[in-house]
């Protein structure tokens, strides 16, 4: 029975690495996978999932308004053992329902990877819907500078100051984000000096 998976994490936890490794596990057993990523993310160039440790794979891209059910159904003209969706926080709620239909009606597993919360501690809409609909959820863990699990992220400006407000989505500049435990995220948002974040 196929399932909808949500692998969530904070920034820079290595979720693209986990995605590419999981896809590779299928490929080395002679199976094919379908990789998708958000089109607004141009960090790795269009249509590519890249990990910070230096591995990358080409990927199809999706944008708001795209019907992922139709895209995946079309891809299934060829063998496909599993669909992988990166940057899943950028999915629209409707697109998450389309992925659920892929799992239920086309019987193909879909593994989504994405951020749980933004720099203000708010759920991304795509992640909120995945938290509601996923059959299985797994956390890709990383740690705060203090050694506790990092579940939150702060955004910094060019001068290294913690940003309190702004758009939820700001493409690129991963080095502008620091993943922290909730205690240190609260301290950062309340104005602790930037060097305590590193």
- The residues binding Zn ion (CB under 5 A) are 144, 146, 148, 181, 184
| Minimum CB–partner distance for residue 154 and Zn ion (Å) | 11
Cβ-based neighbour number of residue 179 at 10 Å = 23
Identity of the residue, 103 or 144, whose beta carbon is nearer to Zn ion in the bound complex: 144
Among the listed residues 73, 87, 92, 193, the single catalytic one is 87
What span, in angstroms and rounded, lies between the C-alpha atoms of 86 and 16?
7
| Minimum CB–partner distance for residue 49 and Zn ion (Å) | 29
Asked whether residue 12 is marked as a ligand-binding residue, the answer is yes
| Minimum CB–partner distance for residue 12 and Zn ion (Å) | 15
Given CA atoms 109, 123, 16, 179 in this order, what sign does their dihedral have?
Answer: negative
Note whether 18 and 147 are within 8 A (CB). no
Identity of the residue, 110 or 144, whose beta carbon is nearer to Zn ion in the bound complex: 144
Residue 120, Ramachandran bin (φ over 0: left; ψ between -120 and 50: alpha; else beta): alpha
Identity of the residue, 134 or 152, whose beta carbon is nearer to Zn ion in the bound complex: 152
Asked whether residue 181 is marked as a ligand-binding residue, the answer is yes
What span, in angstroms and rounded, lies between the C-alpha atoms of 21 and 25?
6
Q: Which residues are annotated as a binding site for Zn(2+)?
A: 144, 146, 181, 184
Active site residues: 87
């Amino acid at each position: 029975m196929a399932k909808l998976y949500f692998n969530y994490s904070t920034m820079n936890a290595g979720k693209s690495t986990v995605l590419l490794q999981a896809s590779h596990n299928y490929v080395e057993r002679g199976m094919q996978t379908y990789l998708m990523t958000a089109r607004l993310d141009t960090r790795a160039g269009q249509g590519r999932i890249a990990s910070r440790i230096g591995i990358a794979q080409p990927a199809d891209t999706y944008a708001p308004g795209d019907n992922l059910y139709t895209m995946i159904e079309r891809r299934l003209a060829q063998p496909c053992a599993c669909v992988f969706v990166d940057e899943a926080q950028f999915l629209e709620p409707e697109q998450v329902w389309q992925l659920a239909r892929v799992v239920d009606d086309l019987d193909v597993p879909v593994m989504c990877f994405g951020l749980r919360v933004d720099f203000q501690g708010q759920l991304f809409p795509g992640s909120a819907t995945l938290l509601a609909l996923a059959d299985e959820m797994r956390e890709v863990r990383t740690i705060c500078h203090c050694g506790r699990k990092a579940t939150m992220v702060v955004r910094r400006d060019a001068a290294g100051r913690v940003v309190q407000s702004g758009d939820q989505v700001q493409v690129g500049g991963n080095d502008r984000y620091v993943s922290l435990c909730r205690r240190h995220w609260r301290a950062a948002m309340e104005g602790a000096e930037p060097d305590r974040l590193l």
